[in-house]
Amino acid sequence: MTIFVKNKHTLQVDEFKFRCCIGKKGSTMNKKEGDRKTPKGLFNIENLYFRKDRKKKPSTLLKCVEIKKNMGWCDDIRYPKKYNKLIKIGKNIKHEKLRRKDYKYDMFIPIKYNFKKPATGGGSCIFIHLTKDYTPTAGCVALKEKDFLIMLKLIKKNSKIKIF
């Protein structure tokens, strides 16, 4: 099963087409940290992370991980061993906070871009997450919650995402 992001407004799973949004500056083959672009390519996906205090565990074949207060995703180029990985929040390490005040990370799936041996500065925290208004992202792919929940029922652990 492959998730296709064919252009900056369309995500497709099987015959289901959903409106989505991507990075403010489009997509690229040469992703850099902070460039506001979505990486092009074929990538594996990770687990579903969700806020148990806001959402019930959705119906999905993905492994579900509850987001805790101390969870972050490292985007700090000074820490190559932790870069683009799930971390326990520390005082001196820059990170994307996973337990946000807004709704965007109430449910999200990390895209395994720059993942196995991350190139520091090559881009981090690329997720499929929630949106309410399709405002362009900092590089992620975002869907409305109703579409996200349908997608979750269709995909599996070995699903991939292809971004054009």
Please give the pLDDT value at position 91. Answer: 84
Contact of 68 with 99, CB cutoff 8 Å: yes
Per residue in 119-147, pLDDT (tens digit) is 999 999 999 999 999 999 999 999 999 99
| Residue 146 CB neighbour total at 10 angstroms | 9
Q: Is the pTM of this model over 0.95?
A: yes
Residues 2-163, CATH architecture: Beta Barrel (2.40)
Mean pLDDT across the chain:
97
Strand residue runs (E) in 45-143: 48-50, 64-66, 71-74, 86-88, 95-97, 107-110, 127-130, 141-143
Closest to 70 in 3D by CA, of 88, 94, 50: 88
Distance, CA of 127 to CA of 124 (rounded, Å): 9
Residues 84-131 pLDDT 10s = 999 999 889 999 999 999 999 999 999 999 999 999 999 999 999 999
Structure tokens at 117: 């041996």
The whole-number pLDDT of residue 130 equals 98
